[in-house]
Structure 1
Amino acid sequence: MGASIGALRVQATSRLRQVSPAETQHNPVPEHSPVPDLRTRVERGGAAKYHEANAAKGKLFARERVRLLVDEGSFVEDGVFANVAADDLPADGVVTGSACIDGRPVCVMANDSTVKAGSWGARTVEKIIRIIETAYRSGVPMVYLVDSAGARITDQIDLFPGRRGAGKIFWNQVRASGSIPQVCALFGPSAAGGAYIPAFCDVVVMVEGNASMYLGSDRMVEMVTGEKTSLEAMGGARVHCTESGVGHFLVQDEQQALDKVRAYLSYLPSSWEGTPPVRDVVPAPAGTDLGALVPESERQAFDMRRYVKGLLDEGSFLEIHALWAREVTVGLGRLSGEVVGVVGSNSMFKGGVLFVDSADKATRFIQLCDAFNVPLLFLSDVPGFMVGTAVERQGIIRHGAKMITAVSEATVPKICVVVRKAYGAGLYAMAGPGFEPDATLALPTAKIAVMGAEAAVNAVY
C-alpha cells in the first residue's frame, strides 16, 4: 500500500514542470486586495449617497443598529465576504452573525438598505438561512433587523425556486417557532415575500414613519385591482399596529425599537428548554389600592392595565399589542421577580367583550407563554364573546374555539382571577375552573354566570 502511494507521488511529480520567468510575465497571477482592506470596503456598505438618504429619514446604518443592540465587542460576523467579487454588493446586502445581549448569546440578521435597498440575492438568502439554522441548532434567540425591498427580480432563478431558495428561510422560521424566541425590528420596508419574515416572528417592533409591510407595492395594487393607495396607508407601521395586528410595538425611532427588542428578550429563556430569567424582587407600587380600582357597578368601565401595574413588580409590565384589539390586555411582567404572562379583560374598550381579533391576540400570546415556560395569570372581567351577524360572518365561533383550545393545551401554571365578571364562554376563555387552572380566585366583586342578570331576565321572561 505504501509503495503504491509512493509510486503515484513520483508519477505526479514527474508530470510537473518548472514555469519559466517569461511565462510568468505573460500570465501574471491575479492580484487581490489584502483581507483587511476588503473587510474595510465591505463594512462601509453601499455608496455615500444611500447613507445620506437614510440619515435624512432618521435611519441608521445596518451595522450601527447591530452595534447599538448587542453587548460591546461581542458581535462575530458570518459571511462577511459574500459576493465580495461584486464591487457594488458588499456582504450581499445583509449582515449576519452571533453576539450577546445582556450577556446571553443571540443570532442576528440585519438588512443593509444601502446595498440595492437591502434586496435579496442568492447569497443573501443563503446567509439568512444559515444564521437561522445556527440559532435553532444552538438554542439561542434569533433577532431580525429588517429593512429590505424584497427579492432581486434579476436574480430570481438563483434565489427563488431551489431547495435552499427563499422559501427555506420561512421553513426554518416555522421550524424554530416555539423552540427559540424570534423577534423582528422593522426599520424600513419588508416587501412581497420578505414580509413573511416579520409575520413568522413572536413579536414585531415597527418604527413609525419608516417601517412598512406589504405583499404588493402601491403601483402593483393599482395595476392589479385598480385601487389607488400609498405604502403608508396600505402597510405602514400604524396600520399594522392598530388594524391588522401584524405589528406588536409601535415606536418613534430606531433606538426605541432596539430597546424594545432587548426588553422583550429579557423576559424569555434562550430556548424552550430553559426557564425565564429571574430578577431581584421589586415591590408593587406603593399606595395602590387594587380594590378601589374596581367599580362596584359592572356598567362602569375601568382600565385593567392600571390593575395589572398595581399588582406586578413596579415598572415590570411590558404590554404587547397595546394598540390592537384593546378589549383584552396581554403582556409580560414579574411577580416577586418571577416572569408571568398576563391576559386581562379591559372594559375600557368595547366593554371587555371578546371579538375575533381579541381572541386571536390572546390565543397567540397564550401559545407564546406556553412555549417558553411562562406561567399565565388571567384577570377576568369578561361579558363573553360578541354576538351578531357581523361577527358570525367573521367566524367568531372558530376564533373563540382557537382561544379556548390554547387555554386547554397550555401546560404552564395557570391562575384564574375573576376580578368582576366571567360570563358565558368568556369563563372558558379566561381559564375558568373547568380548564384545570392551578387556582381559581374569586374577588368580592366576582360574578360567574351563563350571562348577566339583565340578559338572563330577557331570556327567561
Structure 2
Amino acid sequence: MAIDPKLLEELRERRQIARNAGGADKLAKRKEKGLMGARERLEMFFEPGTFQEFGMHAQHSCHRFGMEKKQLPYDGVVCGSGLVDGRAVAAYAQDFTVSGGSLGRIHAKKICDLMDFAHEAGMPVVGVNDSGGARIQEGVDSLSGYGQVFFKNVLLSGVVPQIAVIAGPCAGGAAYSPALTDFLIMTKENSNMFICGPDVIKSATGETAQLEQFASAAAHASISGNIHLVADDDSHAMELTAKLLSFLPSNNISDPPHEFPDLDMSEDPQMNEIVPASGKEALDVMAVIDRLVDDGDFFEIMPDFARNIVVGYARIEGLVVGIVANNPMVKAGTLDIDSSDKGARFIRTCNIYNIPIVTLVDVPGFMPGLAQEQGGIIRHGAKMLFAYAASTVPKITLIMRKAYGGAYLAMCSADLGADMVFAWPTAEIAVMGGEGAARILFRKEIKEADDPKAKAAELCEAYRNEFSSPYQAASNAMITDVIEPSQTRPAIALALRNTLNKRDTRPPKKHGNIPL
C-alpha cells in the first residue's frame, strides 16, 4: 500500500518553503550586495550531497507582539553536518533574510543541539554569524539563549576546533560567541562586529566614532586583534575555513592530518644566502619560512596584527606544524604586549590540538618604553613563558641570530621545554647585546682608551666571542647542535619525526593559572 500522495506533497511544500528562506526578493537583494544566502554558504562549504540538515522544520514559539502569525522558516538558522575533504564537520549559518537572523529560544536550541552533537561525535564546529541580534519579542528567552550558546562554546573549547565566520552584522552580546571560539574569519565588506555602536558610544562618552574605526574587518584585524583572518567575500571566507581545517585534527584526542612521505634530507644552499652579512641588517623571516615549509605553503594567522611576531600553520616533510617566528623587519622583532598575546594564544591552540611547534628566534628583547611598562608588559610577556612551558607537544627551536635576555627564554629555550634546539653560527645567546654588555662591564677601560669608540667595538666583539657564541651555549648543553642554515629543513624535519610520539605527563590539576 503506497504512501498517501498528499503527505508527500505537504512534505515537499514545507521543504520548498524552507529552501526559499525569507523570499526570493530578499535573496536577490543580497546577491546585489555580493552576499550569499545562508544555505548557499553551507552548500559551497560541504562536499556536494553530504549536507544533512538538523531542525529544518523547527519554528519559534513566541505568540506575542505581532509574532502570532509570523512564519520563520527553520527559525532563522540552518544547522547540520557534512563532509569537508572527507572529514565530518558540523556547521550552522544564521539567515538574515528570516527576521534578520535574530536569535530566539528555538534558534539558540538548534545551535546548542548541534554543538552537543559535534561534541559527542568529535567533529569541528563552524558558525556563520549574520544576525541582527536578540529577538526582542522573545524577551528574556532570547537573552537566555545567548547564555546557553556561550556555555556550549566554553564546554567545547579545547575539545573540538571551533571556527566563527563573521559574514554580516554581529553586535552586542552576539559578538561574544565568536570571541569564545578558536578562530574568527571576517569578510572585508558587508560585515561588522562590535559591542556598542556609534550612537551608544556618543551618548555614553561623547566620542564620535564611525563603524569603520572599530567594527570593520580591517579594524579588528590590525588594531584590536579580535579576528584571525580577513576574507574578500563569503566564498573566500568558506574557502579559508576549509583551508584552516586542513591543518587541524577533528578533536583533541586525534592527531593532525599529517602526511608521511619519505624524508628528503637534502640541504638547501639558498638558505645560506638569506642570512644578511651584517648583524645590523634585518633578517627576512618570511623568506626563511618560505624555504623551510613544504612547497612554500604557509597559512599565516593574524597577519595584520602585532606583525613583529609571525604565527601560522604549514607542513614540513608532510607533518603539520605551528610556526612561531620573530619578525626583525617590524620593531626589530622585539616582543611587546600585543605580540606576546598573539604568540601565547597560538601556542596554546597548537598544544590543544596536538600540533608540533617550530620556533624561529631572532629577538633582541622585550620592547622598552613607558607605555609598555604601564600597559603590563610583565603580565603579557609572562603569557609567552607560560604557554611554552605548559605545552606538551613536540617543540623544536631554531636560534637564527639574536636571542637576548628574558625574550630568549620566552621564545622556547631548552629551559622552557624545547625538545631540540638548533642554532646557526650567526646566533648570539646572551643576557643582552654585546655592545650594551661591553659598555657596562668595561666602562672604565672604554673611558680611559685613546679611541673609546674603537675600544668599545673591540670589547664588544670579545664579549660576543666569549659569552654569546652558540658554541658557548652548546658547551653547556643548551643547544642540541649548531648547523648551517642550509641544513635547517632536514634537521627540523628529522627532529619532528623523532619527537612525534613524545609523551609528557604533568602533575594532576584542573588547569594552570595563566597571567591573563
Q: What is the TM-score of this pair, normalised by structure 2?
A: 0.80
Cα contact 1:210–1:237 (8 A) shared by 2: no
**Deviation digits for residues 342-398 of structure 1 (CA, Å, limit 9, x no counterpart):** 000000111100110100000010001100110110100011111221001111000
**Residue segments in structure 2 that go unaligned for 5+ positions in a row:** 1-6, 62-68, 444-516
Report 1:434-453 matches (<5 A): 434-453=415-434
Match of 2:16 in 1: 40
AA aligned opposite 2:171: A
Counterparts in 2 of 1:124 and 1:429: CA distance versus 1, 3 Å: same
The answer to whether structure 1 residue 390 and structure 2 residue 371 are counterparts is: yes
Match of 2:139 in 1: 156
The answer to whether structure 1 residue 370 and structure 2 residue 351 are counterparts is: yes
CA distance, structure 2, for counterparts of residue 54 and residue 276 of structure 1: 37
Cα contact 2:297–2:314 (8 A) shared by 1: yes
Counterparts in 2 of 1:204 and 1:229: CA distance versus 1, 3 Å: same
Match of 1:146 in 2: 129
Q: Secondary structure at the match of 1:418?
A: strand
**Residue segments in structure 1 that go unaligned for 5+ positions in a row:** 1-30
Moved more, 152-161 or 421-430: 152-161
| 1:33, distance to aligned residue in structure 2 (A) | 7.8
Cα contact 1:285–1:314 (8 A) shared by 2: no
Match of 2:96 in 1: 113
| 1:157, distance to aligned residue in structure 2 (A) | 2.2
Moved more, 303-312 or 48-57: 48-57
**1:264 aligned to which of 217, 224, 244:** 244
**Deviation digits for residues 299-332 of structure 1 (CA, Å, limit 9, x no counterpart):** 2112211111111101431110111101000011
**1:306 aligned to which of 250, 270, 287:** 287
Q: Secondary structure at the match of 1:148?
A: coil
Q: What is the TM-score of this pair, normalised by structure 1?
A: 0.89
Give me the CA root mean square deviation.
2.0
Match of 1:98 in 2: 81
CA distance, structure 2, for counterparts of residue 222 and residue 456 of structure 1: 51
Report 1:28-427 matches (<5 A): 34-83=10-59, 87-161=70-144, 165-279=145-259, 281=261, 289-427=270-408
| 1:231, distance to aligned residue in structure 2 (A) | 2.1
| 1:240, distance to aligned residue in structure 2 (A) | 0.4
AA aligned opposite 2:99: K
CA distance, structure 2, for counterparts of residue 175 and residue 141 of structure 1: 13
Moved more, 85-94 or 421-430: 85-94
Aligned sequence identity (%): 39
Moved more, 323-332 or 38-47: 38-47
| 1:287, distance to aligned residue in structure 2 (A) | 6.9
| 1:84, distance to aligned residue in structure 2 (A) | 7.1
Residue correspondences, number: 428
Q: Secondary structure at the match of 1:34?
A: helix
Match of 1:26 in 2: none
AA aligned opposite 1:306: A
Cα contact 1:288–1:310 (8 A) shared by 2: no
Q: Secondary structure at the match of 1:160?
A: helix
**Deviation digits for residues 272-313 of structure 1 (CA, Å, limit 9, x no counterpart):** 110011236497999771121121323211221111111110
Q: Secondary structure at the match of 2:382?
A: helix
AA aligned opposite 2:337: V
Q: Secondary structure at the match of 1:278?
A: coil
| 1:145, distance to aligned residue in structure 2 (A) | 1.1
Q: Secondary structure at the match of 1:425?
A: helix
Cα contact 1:378–1:430 (8 A) shared by 2: yes
| 1:454, distance to aligned residue in structure 2 (A) | 2.0
Cα contact 2:127–2:163 (8 A) shared by 1: yes
Moved more, 310-319 or 77-86: 77-86
AA aligned opposite 2:400: V
CA distance, structure 1, for counterparts of residue 60 and residue 15 of structure 2: 9
Q: Secondary structure at the match of 1:222?
A: helix
AA aligned opposite 2:164: C
CA distance, structure 1, for counterparts of residue 141 and residue 162 of structure 2: 27
CA distance, structure 2, for counterparts of residue 258 and residue 387 of structure 1: 40
Match of 2:453 in 1: none
**Deviation digits for residues 178-231 of structure 1 (CA, Å, limit 9, x no counterpart):** 110111121111111111122111111111122211012222222322222222
Match of 1:457 in 2: 438
